[in-house]
Amino acid sequence: MSPIQGSYEKINYHIRPGKNVERKMFAEVFRRLSEFGSLRSYRYVGFGSAYFSDFYLLHKSLGLHRMVSIEKDVENQSRFRFNRPFACIHLHFGRSNDVLPTLRWGTKTILWLDYDGRLDSGALTDISHFCSAAQAGSVIVISVNAMPDPANQDRLRSLRARVGNENVPPEVTQASLGGWGTAGLYRRIIHNQISQRINERNGGLEEPRQLLYRQLFNFRYADGAKMVSVGGLIYEHRQQAIFERCAFQKHFDFVRDGDEPYSIETPNLTLREIHHLDSQLPKRTKRVTGKSIPNADIEKYAKLYRYFPRFAEAEI
């Protein structure tokens, strides 16, 4: 068997602007989970890779201290151990399909399945396992590469081979998988998988203890490749008042509970341009102006400025 090459060897996840913005938006939403209990009572499970970017953010900004990183690159364990930034991160080596069933699920968990490949049957297995075992108040997020197959290939056949024919709606066509069509279909397949597992768990339970799934995320962005991130909160009927106190949609205009995505579009701006726009934000009634900055870039920045990354070279 050939060794697994991690995407961290090709991509520096610290400096992908769309991913950087998305990560900060996730953290903002996760903060609202305090209505379900102390954030320190939550566990975070993700794929740290060699950079552990999400672990840095969630530990430092939210105080999460129970953290599990699943690393599929078992050939380079020493590198991951060396780069582990905090002692509270427990490393588990192996594929997520093998590792997730070994974890205990008696605590509320934030799970980010941040895959570097396309949606496939392995990802659906991970989703099923989590949704069959997760505690009420837990969150699942799935990120996958949503690039469509080349137009000269049989996209539909390839999709069915990856996710299983039974998971592809019958009305899907070759043409509907072009552009962002694949991303939209992935969201639908993921949503169906989550709903199916939740419905199975609810069988025989009294209504107050039955589970609900509410989507919070439907992000799209392109740091080179088209990416989609979908996910949300699992909670009990009797916790509806708690969910409403979270007021996700009131606090965050990027929260999405349906088919409509939120597109993260990061403009290319100089530091001087960023400082100029920041001096006018948050905008009230006055329109933000940028002299030579294209209006489209101004609008994109105004939507994201609180989460916008600032990359710079530094000697540390």
Q: Note the pLDDT tens digit of each residue in 201-256.
A: 999 899 999 999 999 999 999 998 999 999 999 999 999 999 999 999 999 999 99
Q: What's the order of all strands across the beta sheet hosting 89-93?
A: 89-93, 66-71, 43-46, 109-114, 138-145, 225-236, 211-223, 262-263
Residues of the chain within CATH 3.40.50.150 domain(s) are 7-263
* Residue 114 β-bridge partners: 143
Q: Is the pLDDT of residue 5 over 70?
A: no
pLDDT score, position 113: 98
Q: Is the pLDDT of residue 117 over 90?
A: yes
7-263, CATH topology level: Rossmann fold (3.40.50)
Q: What is the pTM (predicted TM-score) of this model?
A: 0.92
| pLDDT single digits (tens) 77-103 | 999 999 999 999 999 999 999 999 999
- The answer to whether the beta carbons of residues 63 and 40 sit under 8 Å apart is yes
Long-range contacts formed by 204-211: CB under 8 A, 24+ apart? 207/237, 208/236, 208/237, 208/238, 209/236, 209/237, 209/238, 210/236, 210/237, 211/136, 211/235, 211/236, 211/237
| pLDDT single digits (tens) 126-177 | 999 999 999 999 999 999 999 999 988 999 999 999 999 999 999 999 999 9
Q: How confident is the model at residue 284 (pLDDT cuts 50, 70, 90)?
A: low
Q: Is the pLDDT of residue 8 over 80?
A: no
- The answer to whether the beta carbons of residues 27 and 141 sit under 8 Å apart is no
Cis-peptide into 208, omega within 30 deg: no
